[in-house]
Structure 1
Amino acid sequence: MARTRAKDFEEKQHQLLLIAAHVFATQGMEKASMAGIASRAGVSKSLLYHYYPSKSELIFSIIYAHLTDLEAELAEADDASLPPRERLEKLVTAVLLAYEGADDQHKVQLNAGEALSDEQRSLITGLERQIVKHFSAVLNEIHPQLDKPDRPLLMPVTMSLFGMMNWVYMWFRDGGKISRRDYARMATTLILEGVKAVR
């Protein structure tokens, strides 16, 4: 007989994802085991498998939850009534604030590699494209010349901006002299001023 869901199922799932993300981020995808994650979370291995039937499913759930939360933050922050530059800076700020405290989930996303099935990768890619579209749409509005058919530079410029955002966890320290909002302003300026010289 199948187990029924406990009333605090979603809260327990969330906590398991946070703990599992930390284990994967610190030990790596290959070395981390379901038994080790269960032990770290203080639950039985059978309970962990009840929530996540496989290691692949657990990794996918960490990434999918992380990106779903990020997309929700961007959807709320994306204000088409703002001047394009302010709109872009608000989106960059939303990403950097969403990344605060989420380094483990972010590392799992960047290093998942072959741990995911084709179907899981497809779902993740779909979410990533939604997220990227917020930025490419604004950049295209600011610099439509980037999207010329004979020299399509919109995506390279957009992904260059993501490079500045996605790798911030490697060096940024909260509580320092530069805040996440400061860095968002700087990254926005670098892209918008630098792109003027892109031909």
Structure 2
Amino acid sequence: MARQKNLARRHEILRNTFMLLKKRGMENVSLQMIADKSGISKSLLQSYYPHKNLLITEIVTNFMTAVLKSLNATDFKNLNTYSKMKIFIYLILEQGIQDEGVERVVKSILSDGDSLDRWSQILDDWLKHEGVKHDLGNDRQVQIGLNFIVTAGGGLYVKRTEFDLDADQISDIMVKTFMSTFLSIDESKISQTLAEAKSALQKYELTTLTQAINKMFDN
């Protein structure tokens, strides 16, 4: 019973933090504000999450896990791994472009080093789960590649208006860079991968993912 109560309280804290991040952005949200919204003391909040970055990292994990689950949808599950990687990145960025609140969350992720590292680790773990990690060559090279594209792609997202880029173009650049520069995959395979992803995305309703993200702390 105590364990269920603790889990429920963690979900409540995460839900309230997510709502505050959507409304105000990370730099304008304090632990005291999260505690007040959750109806608990700051000291009790810190017994669960001593630092705000721990909260952000857990929200990043849940946010990206919700997106990864969408890759199991019928339209995506039979695609090759790199097509799904393109879709994964696209969906994260497009959520931010479509929803002003989610954009504040995405920008919070991109402005936090620990969150960027977590994004890279989630991608790395996912590649292992896909069963292709052993085919990618040097593990350190893959990790460097993932860190590079997440950081560089995040920078492009933040400056997308200045560079006149959308989520489709940024995710193309990120996946193409990873495949060509760090995995030495030939251009024809890359073009086929990106085309496959675009075709699948045309059939996907983004509202499905939006609903999943809005409910990710309900259970």
Give 1 or 2 for the bigger CA radius of gyration: 1
Q: Moved runs in structure 1, 4+ residues, more than 6 A?
A: 136-139
Q: Pick the structure with more helix per residue.
A: 2
Contact kept in structure 2, 1:161 and 1:187, CA below 8 Å: yes
Relative to structure 1, is the Cα distance of residues 187 and 104 closer, same or farther in structure 2, using a 3 angstrom cutoff? closer
Q: Give the drift of 1:97.
A: 3.2
One-letter amino acid of the counterpart of residue 181, structure 1: D
Q: Give the drift of 1:162.
A: 2.0
Q: Give the drift of 1:157.
A: 2.0
Aligned-residue Cα RMSD (Å) equals: 4.6
- Percent of aligned pairs sharing the same letter: 7
Matched, 1:25 2:27: yes
2:165 matched residue in structure 1: 178
One-letter amino acid of the counterpart of residue 82, structure 1: L
1:134 matched residue in structure 2: 126
Q: Give the drift of 1:137.
A: 6.8
What is the DSSP-based 3-state SS (H/G/I as helix, E as strand, rest coil) of the residue aligned with 1:153?
helix
Q: Residues 56-100 of structure 1, C-alpha deviation per residue, up to 9 Å, x if partnerless?
A: 254422320222121221232265521344223222213323555
Give aligned pairs, total: 166
TM-score by length of 2: 0.52
Mapping of 1:116-131 within 5 angstroms?
A: 129-131=121-123
Larger relative contact order (CA 8 Å, sep ≥ 6):
2
Contact kept in structure 1, 2:124 and 2:146, CA below 8 Å: yes
Contact kept in structure 1, 2:124 and 2:143, CA below 8 Å: no
Contact kept in structure 2, 1:88 and 1:138, CA below 8 Å: no
Matched, 1:191 2:178: yes
Q: Distance between the aligned counterparts of 2:106 and 2:121, measured in 1?
A: 21
Structure 1 residue aligned with 2:68, among 49, 74, 83? 74
Q: Distance between the aligned counterparts of 1:193 and 1:12, measured in 2?
A: 41
Q: Distance between the aligned counterparts of 2:128 and 2:147, measured in 1?
A: 9
2:42 matched residue in structure 1: 49
Question: Could you list the runs of 5+ residues in structure 2 that have no partner in the other structure?
Answer: 97-101, 186-219
Q: Distance between the aligned counterparts of 2:177 and 2:90, measured in 1?
A: 14
Relative to structure 1, is the Cα distance of residues 178 and 135 closer, same or farther in structure 2, using a 3 angstrom cutoff? farther
